[in-house]
């Protein structure tokens, strides 16, 4: 039996790892191909704030799902202490006596192999299948391989591939900067954003693409306009424009859903609805949208609350919440009596703009014959009183 083992911290697993695994599967054609994330890597400490071993295992399952024959193993997670390859090799050879075993490693691991725990045993027990990490690594690999063969009788196979030059460390640095999506498998990036591992923030182009599939055609321009207006207002009033963009992109994520679909989402997310919301199901998208934005994209509390209240409003909203409420109201595709006054007011006095916007909403709902949500009326009265106090 031929067994290939590809181990590492995979923190996170990136496209370079996937390409390496695909090459190993193709070139070695093993009967078993084990991809084994380390619980506690022996060669380097995990960076602060890294996902747990179980979470990295889950990311690996997403990353390597399309590699033919690959098995994502929790072997090293089930052992206590550091994840030494020595223990893994001994276990596998004990389970499969006489197996031909390959350790799949990169340039840096080959060059430091003599620092590995029980490296002589490893060189006696298995072959090293080496992948270049960078285009100019081949000469270094050949020199090191030749030396290890001469000194230890090492069995070394050089795998032919075109390396993707990237590192997990660099990706971890990029993720909080709304970058790095292009270096990760799609499913891995989506999970990192959902969980907000590594302090990740979604790339806004990626977020727009994800939300686009949730929108009907007529709402696309509105959402783009709301995002743009939210950014303008945030910059004017000293709030985070990128966070405002997130809220603008996501605020109508469930607006397309039917009444039945909205109720199903309410049940899924444990949302308790009131009479007014059940009577006017268009109000439900703010509740379900906030919940979905948190579940799918890991939004923080500020964005969650801004989406939650962008339809009815409420008394004493934060400045950020007011910005999203008003951006939804005054974005460039809107056209109704009084909008120019409201647009100007949004950049002069947020509370006065809230008073006017809520009054317009109340009038529109009553004209349409819908039941007015109590939160809207209470919010209007609160802002109107606040405005009168400051006059």
39-52: burial string, b at 16+ Cβ within 10 Å, e else: bbbebeebeeebbe
pLDDT of residue 344: 96
Could you give the 3-state DSSP secondary structure of residue 6?
A: strand
Do 179 and 132 have their domain in common?
yes
Of 159, 187, 215, the last residue of a domain is 187
Measure the N-to-C terminal CA separation of the chain; round to a whole number of Å: 85
358 lies in some domain: yes
Cβ atoms 361, 353 nearer than 8 A: no
Q: For residue 43, what are the domain limits?
A: 2-187
The string of DSSP letters for 294-310 reads: HHHH---HHHHHHHHTT
Do 244 and 147 have their domain in common?
no
pLDDT of residue 207: 98
Do 244 and 145 have their domain in common?
no
The CATH number for 152's domain is 3.40.50.620
pLDDT of residue 357: 95
Do 119 and 33 have their domain in common?
yes
pLDDT of residue 368: 79
Do 143 and 268 have their domain in common?
no
From the number of C-beta atoms within 10 Å of its C-beta (0-12, 13-18, 19+), residue 15 rates as: middle
Do 208 and 316 have their domain in common?
yes
pLDDT of residue 390: 64
212 lies in some domain: yes
Return averaged pLDDT per consecutive 10 residues of the chain, 391 residues in all.
96 96 95 95 80 96 96 93 92 94 92 92 95 76 89 91 86 97 98 97 98 93 97 98 98 95 94 82 92 98 98 96 98 92 96 95 85 89 79 55
Instruction: Give dist(CA 184, CA 171) in Å, integer.
Output: 9
Question: How many distinct structural domains can be found in the chain?
Answer: 2
Do 210 and 181 have their domain in common?
no
Closest CA to 26 of 67, 60, 62: 67
Of 187, 222, 255, the last residue of a domain is 187
């Amino acid at each position: 039996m031929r067994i290939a083992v590809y181990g590492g911290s995979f923190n996170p697993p990136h496209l370079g790892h996937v390409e390496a695994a695909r090459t190993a599967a193709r070139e070695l054609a093993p009967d078993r191909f084990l991809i084994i994330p380390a619980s506690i890597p022996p060669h380097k400490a995990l960076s602060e704030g890294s996902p747990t071993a179980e979470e990295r295992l889950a990311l690996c399952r997403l990353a390597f799902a399309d590699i033919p024959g690959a098995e994502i193993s929790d072997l090293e997670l089930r052992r206590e202490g550091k994840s030494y390859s020595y223990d893994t090799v001994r276990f596998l050879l004990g389970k499969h006596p006489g197996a031909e075993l390959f350790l799949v490693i990169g340039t840096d691991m080959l060059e430091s192999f003599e620092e590995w725990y029980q490296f002589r045993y490893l060189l006696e027990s298995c072959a090293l299948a080496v992948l270049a990490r960078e285009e100019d690594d081949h000469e270094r690999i050949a020199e090191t391989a030749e030396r290890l063969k001469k000194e230890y009788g090492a069995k070394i196979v050089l795998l032919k591939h075109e390396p993707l030059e990237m590192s997990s460390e660099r990706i971890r640095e990029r993720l909080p900067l709304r970058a790095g999506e292009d270096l990760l498998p799609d499913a891995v990036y989506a999970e990192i954003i959902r969980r907000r591992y590594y302090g990740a923030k979604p790339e806004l182009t990626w977020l727009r693409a994800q939300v686009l599939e949730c929108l009907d055609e007529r709402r696309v321009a509105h959402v783009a306009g709301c995002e743009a207006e939210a950014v303008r207002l945030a910059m004017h009033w000293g709030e985070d424009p990128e966070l405002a963009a997130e809220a603008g992109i996501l605020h109508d994520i469930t607006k397309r859903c039917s009444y039945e679909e909205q109720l199903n989402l309410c049940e899924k997310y444990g949302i308790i609805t009131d009479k007014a919301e059940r009577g006017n199901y268009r109000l439900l998208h703010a509740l379900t949208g906030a919940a979905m934005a948190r579940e799918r994209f890991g939004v923080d509390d500020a964005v969650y609350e801004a989406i939650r209240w962008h339809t009815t409003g409420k008394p004493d909203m934060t400045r950020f919440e007011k910005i999203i409420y008003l951006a939804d109201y005054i974005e460039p595709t809107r056209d109704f009596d009084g909008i120019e006054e409201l647009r100007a007011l949004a950049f002069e006095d947020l509370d006065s703009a809230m008073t006017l916007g809520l009054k317009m909403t109340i009038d529109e709902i009553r004209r349409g014959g819908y039941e007015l949500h109590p939160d809207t009326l209470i919010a209007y009265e609160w802002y109107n009183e606040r405005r009168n106090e400051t006059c």
